[in-house]
Structures are given as C-alpha cells and as structure tokens.
Structure 1
C-alpha cells in the first residue's frame, strides 16, 4: 500500500490534542484547553489561520515571529518545489554546497559591510550557542554578559544567558561565567566589562519578553564600552531581524555595528528551520583557526538545501514586497489606533514597540469594584489578567495574540509584516470590545478569570503535595 499523507491528515484531522496528550506534551495540551486555545487549524494563508469550518483567525502571533512574510507564501513554496524537482545532492558534508554559498553571499549583502562570514544552523538557540563559542574562541576570554529580562533560547548556553527565572527553574547549575547586567544601566555594564575578561555582551535590540526598549543612549554607549574593554558585541536578531521592528535589523535603530549577529525565525520563511551566525572574517577564523579545526564547530542539518532555498526566497520576498517599510508604517498605525483607546480605557498603561513588534501594558483600573477584582486576580498570578484579554480576543474576535511573558500585565502583538488597514482595524476594534467587557463585573470575562484562578490554585496545591 502506497504512503498517502494527504489521506492520513484528512482522516485524522481533529485528533490533534488527544495525540499530544498521549504522546507529546500533555501539560501544554491541558493549558491550551484551559485558556481556550485548543483550536484545530486546518489551513493557513497570509495573515490568517482557518479552522475546520472555514472560519478565519487573524494571526497576530506569527509563530513567535517566524511568519514575517505571512503563512504559506507562494514564492517560498515554489523555491522548495524547485529544489526538490532538481534532485540535488544534499548534505554531502565533505563538500561546499552551492546553495549555502549563495545564501551566505545574500546575507552578507544585507548586513553591515564589516560582517562577511556566515555560519548556518537550525534555530535561534543554536545560533546563540555558536555566537558564544565564537566569542570565546576569538577573544580567548570566558565571561559572557547579557541583560536582565533577556531571552536567548533554552539550550544550556543560551538558557544561561536567558535571565528569566521561570525558564531556568529546575535546570541548574547553568553555564558558569554567564552573568546578568542590569537593564538600561550603563554603569553596571562598565563595572563588569572593566574586569577585562569578558568575551562578549549579548543583547536583543528589543527584548522579546515584555517588548522592552532601552533609552536612546544605551546601546551606543554599550557598544563603545565593549570596544573600550575588548569585548565583542552580539546583537541577537532572532526575533527582531528581517524587518520585524521597521528596520531590516533592530540594531539599525541606533546605527550600531555589532561584531556578531544571530538570526533565525523569519529566515526560514516558515517552512524549513534556518538560522545563521554572521560575523567578521577575523572572528570566524578565530574559531576555524587551523586545518585540523575546519569542522570544530559544525551541525549536520545546518546547510541543507531546503533551508538554504527558504532563506534565499525569504530575503527576496522581504525585499521585493517592501515588507520592512510596511512593517514600519503599519506598525505605527496599529500603535496609534491602540493608543487612542487609552482615552476610553484606563486599564491601558502604555502601548510601546517598534514596527510590528508591539506591547500593550495594562494597569490597575480606577473603579473600586474593578480594582478589587484586579487585586484578587493578581494575588494568585500576575499574568492572569493579560491571559484573560488574550483568551477573549481569540474567543470573541478570532484574533491570535499572546501574553508577553511570565508575571506581566502585557499582551504582545507580532503580526505578519504584510498586514494592511483591514487587519489593523479588526485588531483595534477587538481590543476596544474586550476592554469594554472587562468593565462589566461580574461578567463572562471575570467568570473566565475566576476559572483561571481556580486552576492556578489547584496546580499550586498539587505541586506542594508532590513536594511534601
């Protein structure tokens, strides 16, 4: 009997959560059911997902920033089809493949001129791991500095640079020599750099968790300090890169010249994982320093033909469709629309972001009745209110967003860079309606919040019982 994947998918569509409960991450499946995210998406195109009944869902999550060019872009799909149809040799390993050379050439064209050496891998965390190794090898130093609140990935090196207790809990001890720097604090950075043993300072231009943007002077000063004390500056562009912030790269908002860039997510086009470390030839050769070290840092799947084709096609789509400029313009319009809601909803504390990387932060309302409900929710979990908003946006308006991080009153938006006025209007109207619903206490949103509280309390009790 011939293998028929289409028939299998058609026959078993809808079993998604049962299968994951049995064989994959049952905790995730339970959480998604609790917050109302247990949807079954059957199709995707552009800025939208579609369920089995054909209803559209506005995708303002974009796979955590993967789909800058929208889902299932025909140009990228065609590139994959072309590669498959050519029966090219793939992952020979003891060769220098054409497609990886072509993508390295293209990446060098879109990054600053001093960055002319490229290493390909599979994911953002792998790119960060490699960048840390490159920094140590080329400087002969050991310490790595990263910012408080940062997120750089979840494998051991990148997790050590991810200064977020929720992700690090239970996985210690972490990599020695990786230290936290106070956010937006130039003096703290200099105090640590001047010890003279720091290999690199790594930072996201805009922090993914919470969408935090430092003062205008911070990154230029940080780069100057790295040069003064001989440390490398690594720009983690895994989420901010390739147009997300309204510039091709986030560091361009401050005219920076990093020594190493990490990129991933959107480089894949949403089809085949693709990531890159981009650096100077001098730093690169500090790693591959002798003939017997030509593969001292390597990855089996990093230069595979499908990933390289996706990278080439993705860069072409971003360029030819003017998505960087669209990100800037549409992002500003979206933030303007959301900020206008603040005059009607005192729950909105701030709308911030760059390009299509946006956060809406909430604050305690003035109404005495709502203030009591707010405090009750926050006593259990500081992130539950934001989850109420996210779940209501999905339930009432079929808009997919997410909470910006643990213990935050922040909802994060990462729409595809292809969005237009129609998607902006739907998002703003959805937020307006959901925040109006919050003022109805008691009401459906607060009932949902109460259920979240009960679930959270039950989980804490289970954990305490297990530890007893």
Structure 2
C-alpha cells in the first residue's frame, strides 16, 4: 500500500541517480532533464562545488536555531543584497514561505490589507499565497480565502491604472509567469507598477522564486528592466536542490519586522545555506550569466527553426533558459511523448511545454533536446 497522500500526479519514473543534466531511473534508462527539479537545480544535479560545501558544513553543525548568530547566514545575506537593490534578508524554506513573509511584511509596514496580483499568477499553496494566486483551480475546494486580493489581467496597464489607489498595500507580480504559461511581462507594465506603487504608498513586490538566481540570464529577472522593487522573493534555484527560500527587502522595511513579528524554525539552516553560498558564488559571475543568455538565445533560435512553420505551435516564448512552447491544443500528450523518448519537460498551464534545463547545460545537450523535440513532435504532427 502506498503510504503517501496522492497530492502529486507522479510520472512512471523512479529515480536511481542524477548528475549534471541527466537523470537515470531504476531500470537504467537515461533522461535529458529539462525540468531541473522545477527550476531548482540550476547548476545541474550533484554539482561538485555544492556537494563539497555541504559536506564541509556537515562536519561543523547542522542546526542550532535562530536564537544564535551564525556567520554563514550573514555571508549569504551579504551575497544576496550586494547583488540586488535590496538591503535585508529573511531566510525561510521555500518560495511559498518567502511570499508569505512578503505579504505579512507589506501589510504590517503599510497598515493596509489590499494586494493586487494577476490572473494566471502562481505564488504558492499556503492559505496566504494560494489567495494571492490568480488561478481558480488553486482555490477550488478550500472554502473562504484570505482577503483582500484583486486579480487583474497580466500586462494590462489600463486595468492596473483603474484599480490602483491609496488603499493598496502592495502589488505582487512575476517577471515571467511560470505556471501561468511562461509569459514575460512587458517593460511598460513593470515600470508602471513601480510608478503607481510609489505614488500610492504601496510596496512593489516581485516574485523571483522561479526566475531568480540566473534563470533568465540575470542574477534576478527584474534586473532586465531598470526597476527597483521594495521586496523580492527567491527560493527554487537558491540552494540547487536543498530547501531554502529568502525574502529580500529595502532597509526602510526593517522597522516592521522586528523580534517576534515573524519566524521560521528551519529558516537559514546552515546546510542549505552552504549549498546556497556555493551556488550563488558560481551563478552570479558575469561570465556565467552571459553564457546563460547566449544558451537561452541559441535554444530559442533552434526551436524556432524546427517549430516555426508548424501550425500547432503558436510561439516559442520566455527569457534565458526559461522557455515555453505555446501549442494550439493540450500539451500533455506531447510532454508524455517527449518523456518516452528521453526528454523531460513540464507543462505550464494546459497548452504550454515548459523547458527549464540546468544553466550548466551544454550546447550539445541543447541540440539533443531540439532533435528529440523535432523527431517526436514534428514527425508526430506530420502524420
């Protein structure tokens, strides 16, 4: 009998080992992994620098609680703030927790409760972040949600202007909607959010849980746009597979998050922080990020060459190594067919095939993925 709650629609793959951009199952079948733990293993599986950092920390101490000072918390916080527009860090365990912290901080600092988010957004599955998520399927069956969230159309500047006033505590937005279809925000839209937040005494919060830590070719995706949010949240890629999240905020917000205002027993765990320190040290190098942008542009170009004339493909979109193939029909069968032929991909909504390779993926592996997509999908749809 399966002793797990059936909360996941699991694939028929039982993992035996993983390294770099590859996963091997218990039958010895090798897969090219363009899921990366859902944008988590940005340096690939079992990266040697991360492994070494974790092993070293394991010989020192594993957990002492946040009653104590630990140098590694200060060091990783310093890495994050020195590479962003933010000044202070709260460590937690996941993206949902980071977004919960951001919502609590916004309410406490502004003394207002209304938050604007966007249709097809995804911010987590706790009661607060579920309520912030603009998708009915995430809300269904859980009774009354946390108030007061307003869901607006994404990239709709006029709707935002109409909804924004001085009763709004915060606007929470993704630079690229991940679960909502790999849809990038426009520069005009993000700039308008910043301006309206400043005019109305609201906080500008960017959810970088999936887009942060190099995924789009910048340290954080908001850095493509010349904007300066009040809060950003990160998680997924931060620990390269070890559970960690963080909320970063401007210095002015410190006064609202004093002792007793928020907390996390395991937040800032030294093992996860060791992984984060090694991960960030590598990814935040300019040369590394330049390569991510080049690889992302190359993959997009190759996909357009293969799929550009296919009637069933609407577009290839995204940023860096976060790309989506938008289809005219449900993508589930295509994703299953790719998996059968050795390429692991994800859905992003019902009609988008999402590609999230490790940022360390080679050009040869990008070509291999494109060839599998061509042989599987182009041939299939040509029948």
Same fold (TM > 0.5): yes
Aligned counterparts, 1:377-392, within 5 A: 383=330, 386-392=331-337
2:158 matched residue in structure 1: 187
1:52 matched residue in structure 2: 26
User: How far off its partner does 1:321 sit?
Assistant: 8.7
Where 2:369 maps in the other structure, the secondary structure is helix
Q: CA RMSD in A?
A: 1.6
2:62, 2:271 within 8 Å by CA — same for their partners in 1? no
1:136, 1:199 within 8 Å by CA — same for their partners in 2? yes
Structure 2 unaligned regions, length at least 5: none
Structure 1 104/215 Cα, relative in aligned 2: closer, same or farther at 3 Å? closer
Where 1:301 maps in the other structure, the secondary structure is coil
Residue 327 (str. 1) matches residue 276 (str. 2) = no
TM-score (normalizing by structure 1)? 0.79
For residues 118-139 of structure 1, give each alpha carbon's deviation from its aligned partner in whole angstroms, at most 9, with x where no partner exists: 1100000000000011111111
For residues 203-234 of structure 1, give each alpha carbon's deviation from its aligned partner in whole angstroms, at most 9, with x where no partner exists: 01000020011333111111111111111100
Picking from 229, 254, 258, the partner of 1:284 is 254
User: How far off its partner does 1:190 sit?
Assistant: 2.1
TM-score (normalizing by structure 2)? 0.96
2:177 matched residue in structure 1: 207
State which structure, 1 or 2, has the greater radius of gyration over its C-alpha atoms: 1
1:354 matched residue in structure 2: 319
For residues 15-40 of structure 1, give each alpha carbon's deviation from its aligned partner in whole angstroms, at most 9, with x where no partner exists: xxxxxx61113464xx44xxxx3112
Residue 90 (str. 1) matches residue 63 (str. 2) = yes
Picking from 70, 74, 78, the partner of 2:48 is 74
Higher mean C-alpha deviation, range 341-350 or range 164-173: 341-350
Aligned counterparts, 1:283-432, within 5 A: 283-288=253-258, 294-320=259-285, 322-363=287-328, 383=330, 386-396=331-341, 398-405=342-349, 408-432=350-374
1:148 matched residue in structure 2: 119
- Kindly indicate whether structure 1 or structure 2 has the higher relative contact order, using CA contacts under 8 Å at least 6 residues apart: 2
Aligned length: 382
Where 1:23 maps in the other structure, the secondary structure is coil
Partners in 2 of 1:325 and 1:338 — Cα distance? 20
Structure 1 unaligned regions, length at least 5: 1-20, 289-293, 364-381, 442-468
Structure 1 412/423 Cα, relative in aligned 2: closer, same or farther at 3 Å? same
1:39 matched residue in structure 2: 13
Aligned counterparts, 1:97-246, within 5 A: 97-112=70-85, 115-194=86-165, 196-209=166-179, 210-246=181-217
Which structure features the higher share of helix residues? 1
1:145, 1:181 within 8 Å by CA — same for their partners in 2? yes
Partners in 2 of 1:328 and 1:109 — Cα distance? 22
Structure 1 152/43 Cα, relative in aligned 2: closer, same or farther at 3 Å? same
